[in-house]
Structure formats: structure tokens, C-alpha cells
Amino acid sequence: MSDARPIGVFDSGVGGLTVVRALSEKLPHENIVYFGDTARVPYGPKSPQVVREYALDDTNILLNHDVKLIVVACNTVSAVALDVVQKQARVPVVGVIEPGALAAVKRSKSKRIGIIGTVGTIKSNAYGTALKRLDADVEHFSHPCPLFVPLAEEGWMDHRATELIAKEYLFPLTQHKIDTLILGCTHYPILKDVISRVTHQTLQLIDSGEATAEVVAQLLDSEGIRNLSTMNARLQFFVSDVPHKFAEIGERFLGRTLGRIQRVSFASSHD
């Protein structure tokens, strides 16, 4: 049996396109519907209560597209509102926290793991809880890196300012002698090179998006809902606003041009 229904992916904005990129590399024949809540981004500094309300709206938009599975690409939503999405969706839901934590536990030798993310993600300690559940001997250390989000969107991957900020954020973590660092935010894979550079290439960087794509592939098989077609997949992009430079920034995050970007409003999300 083949299931051509799309995988639904949502995020607070453009960042989740790094997760779409990982998904379409791993699963090139799966159709994808993406929703980015660009009108209300960022979610990172917002209270858990508001993020939970937004997550519900985002889920409903995807459900209107008859998705077969939902990927919560946003780390902040995965950290504080995964249960809300699971309760609302009638389909399997995958967040980015568990897959990222699992990949880190598998890769770390010293069992000393660092976590970086938005203020909301770090405050929730969702990664720390997941790591401990997987291996009680793991020690974890975390630091919020909110300025990485605008720097990645600005395209300042090689800028001196980014390097200085990265040093400031990451130095305290390296003092804890971690060997693995979880990039717990959609935007951070864009800054992989500078993060490696300032930590002197000593850390294994865990891209939660890539780890999530692995879990999604396994789930499609175990649920028997893989698309067996060998046709090129259809990627559709929906946003709650089309802000300036969205296509340009999106292209950097996705690794290719997005094509048509459609705006939807929450009131009439049946486009």
C-alpha cells in the first residue's frame, strides 16, 4: 500500500525549512505541506501558554490539508506543546526533541552533552528530561542563544559579529568539557561552521532536524504509510504572512528555491 498524502511540517516561521531540507533529503518521494507562522514569529521568547495556543492553530492548518503525519519542526513548540498537538491531531506526531536527544546519547562518548536553543526551549528543560530518560548517567549543560536566530536570518554565517557572539554563548558550555552539542533550534544548523570554528572543531554537533528525519522514515514504515511512488515529491509552502525577504531567507534554509508561497489566515485556513 502506498500513501501519497503529504507529511505536514510546521514551525514558528522560516526556520523549519532546515527540517524540510533534512526530510526531503532522507525521503525524496514524500510530498510535504509546510506551514510557517511568520506573522507571529518568534515563539522562542513567548510564554508556554501562548506557544500552546499558537501550536493548536498551526496544527489545524495542517489538518486541513489531509496530512498523514505531523512533524513539529519548531524546537520551542516541541519542548512546551507537543502534547497539545498530539491531542488535536488524528495522525502520528513527531517532535524534534526526542530524536535530537536520542542521536546525542548515541554519539556522546563522555556522556557530557551541551544543549543550545531558544529561551523557551532551554527554560523548559525538555532536552535535559529526554536525555535523562534515555540514559540516567548523562550530564547535560544548557545555554540559550537567542541572537543566533536573527543572525542566521540575516545570513551572517561568516560575520565577525556572529563569531564573537558564538564565543560568548558557547564558552561557558565548553568549560563543562562536553563532547556533544545539540543544536536545539531550527536556525542553528545554518551556523554550524561558525559553531565548529569557535569550539575548535572538538564537538560533535547534533542537528535535531536530521535526527527527526530518521525517526520519520522509521515511523512511515512501521505505520505502513510511506509513499511508494518514485515521482518527484510536491512541496507546498504556506505562511501566515509573507514578510520582506522571506523567499531569499527561505532559500538559504531549504537549500533551494521555494517556488510559490501561499498566505493563509487562521480564520479561513481552508485555502
Residues carrying an active site annotation: 74, 185
C-alpha cell at 64: 486541513
Task: Say whether residue 118 binds ligand DGL (CB under 6 A).
Answer: yes
Binding residue for ligand DGL, selected from 6, 8, 44, 209, defined by CB under 6 A: 44
Paired sense of beta strands 204-207 and 112-117, if any: unpaired
Binding residue for ligand DGL, selected from 8, 9, 10, 11, defined by CB under 6 A: 11
CA distances to 171, 184, 206, 260 from 116, in Å: 12, 5, 10, 33
| Least distance CB 45 / ligand DGL (angstroms) | 7
Task: Say whether residue 41 binds ligand DGL (CB under 6 A).
Answer: yes
| Least distance CB 142 / ligand DGL (angstroms) | 13
| CB contact set of 251 (below 8 Å; sequence gap of 6+) | 257, 258
Binding residue for ligand DGL, selected from 18, 31, 59, 76, defined by CB under 6 A: 76
d(CA 84, CA 71): 13
Task: Say whether residue 51 binds ligand DGL (CB under 6 A).
Answer: no
| CB contact set of 30 (below 8 Å; sequence gap of 6+) | 6, 7, 23, 24, 220, 226, 227, 233
Binding residue for ligand DGL, selected from 22, 27, 33, 42, defined by CB under 6 A: 42
| Least distance CB 96 / ligand DGL (angstroms) | 8
Is the CB of 149 or the CB of 225 nearer to ligand DGL? 149
Query: Which among 67, 2, 5 has a CA at the least distance from the CA of 35?
Result: 67
| Least distance CB 238 / ligand DGL (angstroms) | 16
Q: Which residue is nearest to ligand DGL (CB)?
A: 44
By rule CB under 6 A, what count of residues binds ligand DGL? 17
Binding residue for ligand DGL, selected from 7, 61, 70, 185, defined by CB under 6 A: 185
Task: Say whether residue 209 binds ligand DGL (CB under 6 A).
Answer: no
Is the CB of 15 or the CB of 114 nearer to ligand DGL? 15
| Least distance CB 53 / ligand DGL (angstroms) | 14
Task: Say whether residue 253 binds ligand DGL (CB under 6 A).
Answer: no
Which of these ranges, 41-49, 163-171, 209-217, 224-232, lies near ligand DGL under the rule CB under 6 A? 41-49
Task: Say whether residue 124 binds ligand DGL (CB under 6 A).
Answer: no
Contact footprint for ligand DGL (CB under 6 A)? 11-13, 15, 41-44, 74-76, 118, 121, 149, 185-187
